[in-house]
Structure 1
Amino acid sequence: MFDVGAGELLVILIVAVVVIGPKDLPLAMRTAGRWIGKMRRISAHFRSGIDAMVREAELEEMEKKWKAQNEEIMRRSAALTEAEAGAPVMTGPPPLDKSLVDTPPPPLPETAATPPQPEAPAAPDASTKGTSADV
């Protein structure tokens, strides 16, 4: 905030010793320290109040957004409920088809006694030997 270097501090200290005097300088420094502490506490309190107001404004904005989303969801839900009102309501599982329950499972296909053999790879064509394709 204030860019005070070592030279400026030395000048301020010399002026303070000359103006206040060496006898009252410790009391003046103590008083200045108390005032600086009070100013820091007041600024911290002010800053925290501003931060709280910003948070409250953000919360109000989010609540408005959530309320709008909730109304949209409720409107969609009401529209779906009205659309489903004309359709028959089914409770529980669908009824079983007795014809499917009484039929036996289909027979398994018969398997050959020997498993199928893999095919041998094809031999390379002799007419293409020595061409630029093999290089």
Structure 2
Amino acid sequence: MFDVASSEVILLGVVALLVIPPKDLPKAMRVAGHWIGKVRGVANQFRSGFDTMLRESELQEMEKKWAAENARIMREHPPEPVQMLPMAGPPGEAHEAEDAPAILVEQPVVTSPETADADQPKPATGTHS
């Protein structure tokens, strides 16, 4: 974007030596460096914002393509309806298949904080006589 050749930099240096006195030259270089840094920062921020917008637009295009492809697949291959198995007894009664394994779940033990402290062993104090 901004292309500066080495001959241009040398020319700028010679002009700076002629216009700016040698004792003020370090201060002028610091100020120029500061402003060049700010310009680079703004340019980088602009570039990253542009890249982000480009990625988001590409992502939206991909989502549209995926949605269209999904709709095409769903039209060509509609989902099959789910068939429910009839129950053998009244609706409130639990039924288990004869060949299905039984699942045993241990009931949790609920204790109050007072009984939990009583069940725990007391820590040793570390003193021996």
What range describes the TM-score normalised by the shorter chain of this pair? Answer: 0.5 to 0.7
Aligned length: 80
Segments of structure 2 that go 5 or more residues without pairing to the other structure are 82-129
Q: Are residues 1:68 and 2:48 paired?
A: no
Match of 1:5 in 2: 6
Q: Per the alignment, in what secondary structure is the counterpart of residue 77 of structure 2?
A: helix
Shift of 1:76: 1.3
Match of 1:26 in 2: 26
Shift of 1:12: 2.0
Match of 2:43 in 1: 43
Computing the radius of gyration from Cα coordinates, the structure with the larger value is 1
Distance in 1 between residues matched to 2:14 and 2:26, nearest whole Å: 14
Q: Are residues 1:77 and 2:77 paired?
A: yes
Deviations 1:39-85 (A, max 9, x none): 1111001000000000000000000000001111111122x859xxx
Shift of 1:18: 1.9
Q: 1:72 to 1:18 in 2, by over 3 A?
A: same
Distance in 1 between residues matched to 2:74 and 2:80, nearest whole Å: 10
Identity %: 51
TM-score by length of 1: 0.53
Instruction: Flag as ranges the 4+ runs of structure 1 deviating above 6 A.
Output: none
Deviates more, 1:25-34 or 1:68-77: 68-77
**Relative to total residues, which structure has the larger helix share, 1 or 2?**
1
Distance in 1 between residues matched to 2:20 and 2:6, nearest whole Å: 22
Match of 1:102 in 2: none
Q: Per the alignment, in what secondary structure is the counterpart of residue 10 of structure 1?
A: helix
TM-score by length of 2: 0.56
Distance in 2 between residues matched to 1:9 and 1:65, nearest whole Å: 51
